[in-house]
Amino acid sequence: MYKANEKKNNKFCGKAFVIFNNQNVATKINDKLHVNSTKRVIKYIWKKIILCRARREDKPFTFKTQKAGEPTDIFWENLPITTATRFKRSMVSFLLMGCLLVFSFCCNLIFGLFKDSLERQYEDNGENFKIHHSLILMFYNILNAMVISFFNISLKGLAKILTEYERHDSYTPYTLSLAAKMILAMYINTAIIPLCVNHNEKYWFSSTGLISDIFYNTLSICFVGPILYFYDPTHLLKVCKRKREVKKGDKSTLTQRELNELYEGQEISLENRYTSAFLIILVCSTYTVLLPILPIICFFGFCYQYCLVKYMLVNHNTRPREVSHFIDFSATNIFVLILLVNGGSIWYFLTRLSDAQNFIAWLPLLLAGGLVLLPISYAEKVFKINEVRKSDEDTYESTIMKHHFNYQSSNPIGKDGKISFKRLSSYAVQDKFKQKDIIWGNLEKDIMNYPGLKKLISTDANPLGMQDFSPLPPRPLMERKSMRSKMSICQSDSDESEDERKYKTTKNILNSIYRDNKKNERNRSDTLKDKLTKIVEQSEDCPESEDENNLQAIGINLKKQKSSTETATFRNDEESDKSPSRVRSKKTVSEVEESKEMESSSSPSGSYSGEGESEESESHDNSESHENSSSHDNSESHENSENH
């Protein structure tokens, strides 16, 4: 990708999209060249800052590789933004978020001082202490929780604006950056700032202390936040505008696209869902030591949010856009930090509440710190995180199961990403007496005339019409073994080029498939002939149905087309089976007159109607006259001999 410059020529912006013919090759190259971001930062600090090494001019630049996302996931207009520019913008966004957190801290500090003065005022008056004191302090605690919720909403809006200012190159890093900002800012606003305001441990368990603030803050993030998500202000504005446009009627000036947007629900926000979930977990893991009822509250909060989000997703939200699976991997890595937060909170609160040194308080912190300091690769092996990631790899089977609309799922490629000749051999005839035969000669001609045959052999290209073929059920084991043996025989001399050998291999395989299907035509015609014979024998007893009439008409057409496997009558003649072809001679005028006389003498119950099928009706009438008299027998044998 290139970025435009008015003064100079176009310059390379530092990003390139490489397309491979094989999916496995792209995966191997990515695994080989992928470098962790943490290792890159440590290497840069060690060489540039500590060792003060300058980069040599003859040394090539290092580059970072990763799997490209879907085209709809990429922000093409943000690709010219360099990493250094994006880093500077991220620092500006974190600085502005910090300023808003400082303002929130000041507001919480003012509320804390006001509650302390109010508590000292009511301590002097013993008469109204039990009633007025508890109610007023509860009101101020709830008001303090509402103020924290207001700042959480403000932090969400500011984080969204600043993340758009950073101009990420795709929707996936945008979502990760926005979720990280919101989780960190809201956790500091909900859990850390109340701890800083109530720094004196003597007043932690008072009615205006730390425990009271955390209790109401937890209720707020568990139950108040989802209510605001349900009653979205933007959706309410859409409803009001929709009603106003309905009242206008024909006088409405909105376009069809604008009207469609009015009736569309809001898109589900992944960053908000991750933020609300991890915020509850972080607050619960931080203050469970002081408030053991928090896990129960958080459990009911999770259930409440799950039901509400599911209802909104099914009834109101639009379909979310596709994002990369790195979002899930990044979310699972946060759980390691949650363990560190839990261990640090146990150590901090137990050491503050106890005068003596307590080894039990240090034990969770040491375990959590050791887990965080472990190498990531070793931790993944111990906790089998790699197995979870392997199950989500973009393999051939998982791609078909997850993305049914993917290009590869509708093409005859194998697990190696190339054209599979065995898959080509599985396409065959599935007529079931409905004349849906696939002519393999035409298939061979189409493939051989395909201009990209050379690319077809080595890539996952798809000839026109290949996706329209319906595969057969799995072949028996003996047929698959014979197919493997035929495929192994199809080899050319070493003197020929690779393209010629592949071309001949494809041609030989298709010819063998064509010959196999030709052999099966005779068996199918015999089965069809037996069915027609049974229908003719039972035609006197039961009326003909539509399916039988269609079947008889199909049999008549099949007899016309495939004269090599059929006879003029419905008798199983051994001589007729041995003969390779039948040639019907022209009837003389006397034979036609004899057939008309026999038609008038025979009953019509044993014959069936067909368009222009005089020869078949003659055979049926002759068979009936053979049952009535011996004279009809002679005429029938005479006619059959002439037909043969």
Helix (H) or strand (E) holding 516: helix 498-537
pLDDT band at 241 (very low <50, low <70, confident <90, very high): confident
Question: Which range has the worst mean pLDDT, 31-45, 135-149, 174-188, 393-407?
Answer: 393-407
Residue at which a domain ends, from 495, 524, 553: 524
- DSSP annotation of 318: B
Question: Which range has the worst mean pLDDT, 262-276, 292-306, 540-554, 570-584?
Answer: 570-584
Q: Is pLDDT of 602 > 50?
A: no
Q: Is pLDDT of 129 > 70?
A: no
Whether 595 and 511 map to the same domain: the answer is: no
Q: Is pLDDT of 438 > 60?
A: no
Whether 302 and 280 have beta carbons less than 8 Å apart is answered as yes
Q: Distance (Å, rounded) from C-alpha 240 to C-alpha 235?
A: 9
Whether 422 and 499 map to the same domain: the answer is: yes
Question: Which range has the worst mean pLDDT, 311-320, 322-331, 471-480?
Answer: 471-480
Residue at which a domain ends, from 27, 44, 68: 68
CA distances from 226 to 2, 124, 328 (A): 44, 41, 22
pLDDT of residue 266: 79
- What mean pLDDT is predicted for residues 563-583? 43
User: pLDDT tens-digit profile of 25-56?
Assistant: 777 777 777 766 677 777 777 777 776 666 55
CA distances from 424 to 398, 411, 487 (A): 21, 10, 12
Q: Answer yes or no: is 437 within a domain.
A: yes
Whether 519 and 594 map to the same domain: the answer is: no
Q: Give the residue, 241 or 579, on which the prediction is more confident.
A: 241
Whether 342 and 364 have beta carbons less than 8 Å apart is answered as yes
Strongest mean pLDDT among 56-60, 70-74, 288-292, 612-616? 288-292
Whether 520 and 592 map to the same domain: the answer is: no
Residue at which a domain ends, from 46, 68, 90: 68
- What mean pLDDT is predicted for residues 615-644? 44
CA distances from 207 to 137, 435, 482 (A): 7, 85, 85
Question: Which range has the worst mean pLDDT, 17-31, 153-167, 352-366?
Answer: 352-366
Q: Is pLDDT of 527 > 50?
A: yes
Q: Distance (Å, rounded) from C-alpha 232 to C-alpha 312?
A: 11
Strongest mean pLDDT among 161-175, 573-587, 601-615? 161-175
Q: What is the DSSP string of 262-307?
A: HHS-PBP-HHHHHHHHHHHHHHHHHHTTT-TTHHHHHHHHHHHHHH
- What mean pLDDT is predicted for residues 192-218? 83
CA distances from 208 to 134, 319, 353, 435 (A): 10, 45, 18, 85
pLDDT of residue 227: 82
Give me 345's structure tokens. Answer: 């909170």
Whether 427 and 517 map to the same domain: the answer is: yes
pLDDT of residue 200: 78
- What mean pLDDT is predicted for residues 111-137? 62
What total of structural domains would you count in the chain?
A: 3
Q: Is pLDDT of 157 > 70?
A: yes
pLDDT of residue 128: 46
pLDDT of residue 535: 62
Q: Answer yes or no: is 483 within a domain.
A: yes
pLDDT of residue 437: 40
Q: Give the residue, 431 or 262, on which the prediction is more confident.
A: 262
Q: Distance (Å, rounded) from C-alpha 499 to C-alpha 568?
A: 49
Helix (H) or strand (E) holding 381: helix 376-382
The set of residues, in sequence order, having a beta carbon less than 8 Å from that of 523 and lying 6+ positions away, is none
Whether 594 and 499 map to the same domain: the answer is: no
Question: Which range has the worst mean pLDDT, 85-94, 175-184, 635-644?
Answer: 635-644
Q: Is pLDDT of 401 > 60?
A: no
Whether 518 and 604 map to the same domain: the answer is: no
First to last CA, the chain: 76
> CA nearest 480: which of 442, 437, 527, 423?
423
Q: Answer yes or no: is 537 within a domain.
A: no
Whether 152 and 186 have beta carbons less than 8 Å apart is answered as yes
Which SS3 state, helix, strand or coil, does residue 169 take? coil
The domain containing residue 23 runs over which residues?
12-68
User: pLDDT tens-digit profile of 171-204?
Assistant: 888 888 888 899 999 999 898 888 888 887 877 8
Give me 419's structure tokens. Answer: 């054209």
Whether 472 and 516 have beta carbons less than 8 Å apart is answered as no
Q: Is pLDDT of 407 > 60?
A: no
pLDDT band at 223 (very low <50, low <70, confident <90, very high): confident
Residue 510 has a CB neighbour count (10 Å cut-off) of 20
Mean pLDDT for all residues in the chain: 66
Q: What angle do CA 167, 171, 173 make, to 5 degrees?
A: 75
User: pLDDT tens-digit profile of 466-492?
Assistant: 333 344 444 444 444 444 444 444 444
Q: Answer yes or no: is 425 within a domain.
A: yes
- pLDDT > 70 fraction of the chain, expressed in percent and rounded: 48
pLDDT of residue 81: 81
Q: Give the residue, 436 or 286, on which the prediction is more confident.
A: 286
Residue 78 has a CB neighbour count (10 Å cut-off) of 15
pLDDT band at 300 (very low <50, low <70, confident <90, very high): very high
Which SS3 state, helix, strand or coil, does residue 568 take? coil
Question: Which range has the worst mean pLDDT, 219-223, 308-312, 414-418?
Answer: 414-418
Q: Answer yes or no: is 529 within a domain.
A: no
- What mean pLDDT is predicted for residues 154-163? 89
Helix axes 589-601, 630-643, angle to 10 degrees: 140
Cα-trace Rg, the chain: 41
User: pLDDT tens-digit profile of 355-383?
Assistant: 655 666 677 777 766 666 666 556 666 66
Whether 618 and 596 have beta carbons less than 8 Å apart is answered as no
Give me 450's structure tokens. Answer: 């395909």
Q: Answer yes or no: is 563 within a domain.
A: no
The set of residues, in sequence order, having a beta carbon less than 8 Å from that of 406 and lying 6+ positions away, is 399, 400
pLDDT of residue 435: 37
Q: Answer yes or no: is 381 within a domain.
A: no
Q: Answer yes or no: is 634 within a domain.
A: yes
Q: Is pLDDT of 290 > 80?
A: yes
- What mean pLDDT is predicted for residues 61-70? 71
Q: Distance (Å, rounded) from C-alpha 215 to C-alpha 228?
A: 20
Helix axes 134-166, 171-187, angle to 10 degrees: 150
